[in-house]
């Protein structure tokens, strides 16, 4: 057997072919003669501000022949925040059904506050929120409560400096910057959004709520707390304490809507 291995090795050397194993973090690539492989490194870090944000991808290109191996590194930067004026509403790939299209005004344009005041919200945005809720199976009141608790229905807002982990929540539904790109990939076809655009923000936030509701069997209490902590975070807190303040805020606002 050893002689056979030596004969095979000598044959490969004589033919000018050299097999070189290349091991990268997270996987292994075997390269043959004159073969080129490009590996996208998916993990990244990004810094988010209210003006510009980007994500950097690192690609490793490896080339090998009979005598040498050459490795080059290419870096590509893409924006996370897509800044444009047209709301995402014009790009949605579904047509709202006529039987619910105009039912957004069940609470009117004035959303209540705990102190008895009201917040005016544009009818086109409420219409959009309502139809997103119907399309993705989210209670309208839950979406309104999330908008209120996160931002008081304010689009151009962030909570920089308030999160204990240093992350920042953006826009009307408080999308967390640490997961913004992941959510754009999952919920918006990998297209970056402007989180200060209320329509685009809502488009992502309502889909997160929909996934949480599905995961927790329709429980608004669980879905709300998971919106604030993440599913795993809420499961850990729930197992230890059985309570989280965020869900109580959401339920209290829903009760407030029902008293209108």
Specify the residue for token string 């308030």. 162
Q: What is the pLDDT of residue 44?
A: 31
Contact residues for 42 (Cβ-Cβ < 8 A; gap 6+)? 57
62-102: per-residue pLDDT in tens?
444 455 555 555 554 444 444 333 444 334 443 444 444 56
Domains with residue ranges and CATH for the chain? 19-79 (no CATH), 88-258 (1.10.530.10)
Mean pLDDT of the chain: 73
Closest by CA position to 16, among listed 36, 37, 34: 34
Instruction: Provide the H-helix boundaries in 80-230.
Output: 123-136, 140-151, 180-187, 198-215, 220-229
How many other CB atoms are found less than 10 A from the CB of residue 29? 14
Closest by CA position to 245, among listed 215, 231, 225: 225
27-59: per-residue pLDDT in tens?
333 333 333 333 333 333 333 333 334 444 343
Closest by CA position to 188, among listed 132, 145, 244: 132
Q: What is the pLDDT of residue 74?
A: 52
121-155: per-residue pLDDT in tens?
998 899 899 989 989 999 999 999 999 999 999 99
């Amino acid at each position: 057997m050893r002689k056979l291995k030596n004969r095979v090795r000598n044959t490969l050397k004589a033919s000018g072919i050299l097999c070189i194993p290349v091991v990268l973090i997270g996987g292994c690539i075997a390269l043959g003669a004159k073969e080129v492989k490009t590996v996208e490194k998916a993990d990244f870090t990004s810094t988010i501000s209210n003006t510009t944000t980007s994500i950097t991808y690192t690609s490793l290109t490896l080339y090998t022949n009979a005598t040498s191996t050459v490795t080059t590194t290419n870096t590509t930067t893409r924006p996370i925040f897509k800044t444009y004026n047209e709301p995402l509403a014009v790009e949605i790939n579904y047509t709202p059904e006529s039987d619910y299209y105009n039912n957004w005004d069940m609470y009117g344009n004035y959303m209540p506050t705990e102190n008895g005041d009201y917040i005016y919200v544009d009818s086109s945005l409420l219409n959009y929120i309502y139809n997103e809720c119907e399309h993705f199976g989210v209670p309208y009141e839950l979406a309104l409560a999330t908008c209120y608790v996160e931002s008081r229905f304010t689009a151009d807002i962030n909570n920089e400096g308030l999160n204990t982990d240093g992350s920042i929540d953006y826009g009307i539904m408080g999308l967390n910057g640490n997961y913004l790109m992941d959510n754009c990939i999952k919920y918006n076809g990998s297209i970056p959004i402007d989180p200060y655009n209320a329509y685009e923000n809502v488009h992502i936030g309502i889909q997160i709520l929909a996934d949480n509701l599905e995961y927790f069997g329709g429980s608004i209490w669980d879905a709300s707390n998971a919106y604030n902590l993440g599913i795993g975070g809420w499961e850990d807190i729930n197992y230890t304490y059985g309570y989280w303040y965020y869900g109580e805020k959401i339920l209290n606002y829903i009760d407030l809507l029902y008293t209108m």
